[in-house]
């Protein structure tokens, strides 16, 4: 099955380990990773993408694609926020993209906490607290055990949605998958 996964960790370093562990599962043939990236939510709620330090020209467009994907991973509430953020992302600066993406995840997390019924409805939706980092990836997996077992051992919480569900709920078409790195890399956050 083709899925998008978000694996949330309490620190950047743990997320880096989670990224490498994911690619190791691919190398062993347990799963197939089509692309992955590491993101971080800062204390103000902004979300940054860890890129390779060799491609600064790609940093802006990475934010655009992942903003849509994060909204889709967060579920219906997050998707609504992602739509609202999309217009500002399209015309915004790099800082604006960070704020919009942060708003997407933040709104979802706040909505989940605001009402017990909503919490039950969206308990499987991605939620990131300030200071947390996450691995976002597109994978093919015949069973969920390899990722779940490996990433939980590193302290990660795994969220998962099928590729079909994400496509149905996204207003960005298929292109957001292109913003995930198609191989393992050493993540780097712009200072």
* Residues at the contact surface with other proteins, assessed by CB under 8 A: 2, 29, 32-35, 52, 54-58, 140, 142, 177-178, 182-183
* Cβ(161)–Cβ(3) below 8 Å: yes
What is the enclosing helix (H) or strand (E) of 116? helix 116-121
Measured distance CA(157)–CA(127) in Å, rounded: 10
Distances (CA, A) of 1 to 5, 139, 153: 12, 8, 23
Report, in Å, the least distance between residue 2 CB and other proteins: 8
Closest CA to 166 of 103, 72, 33: 72
Helix axes 76-91, 59-74, angle to 10 degrees: 160
């Amino acid at each position: 099955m083709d899925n998008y996964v978000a694996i949330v960790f309490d620190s950047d370093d743990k997320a880096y380990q989670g990224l490498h562990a994911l690619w190791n599962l691919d190398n062993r043939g347990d799963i197939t990773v089509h692309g992955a990236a590491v993101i971080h939510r800062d204390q103000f709620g902004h979300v940054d993408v860890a890129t390779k330090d060799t491609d600064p020209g790609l940093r802006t467009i990475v934010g655009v694609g992942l903003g849509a994907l994060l909204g889709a991973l967060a579920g219906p509430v997050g998707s609504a926020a992602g739509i609202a953020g999309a217009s500002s992302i399209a015309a915004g600066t790099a800082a604006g993209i960070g704020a919009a993406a942060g708003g997407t995840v933040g709104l979802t997390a706040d909505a989940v906490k605001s009402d017990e019924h909503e919490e039950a409805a969206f308990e499987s939706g991605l939620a990131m607290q300030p200071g947390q980092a996450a691995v976002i990836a597109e994978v093919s997996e015949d069973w969920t055990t390899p990722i779940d077992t490996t990433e939980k051992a590193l302290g990660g919480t795994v969220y998962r949605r099928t590729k079909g569900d994400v496509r149905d709920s996204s207003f960005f078409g298929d292109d957001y998958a292109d913003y995930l790195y198609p191989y393992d890399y050493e993540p780097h956050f712009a200072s």
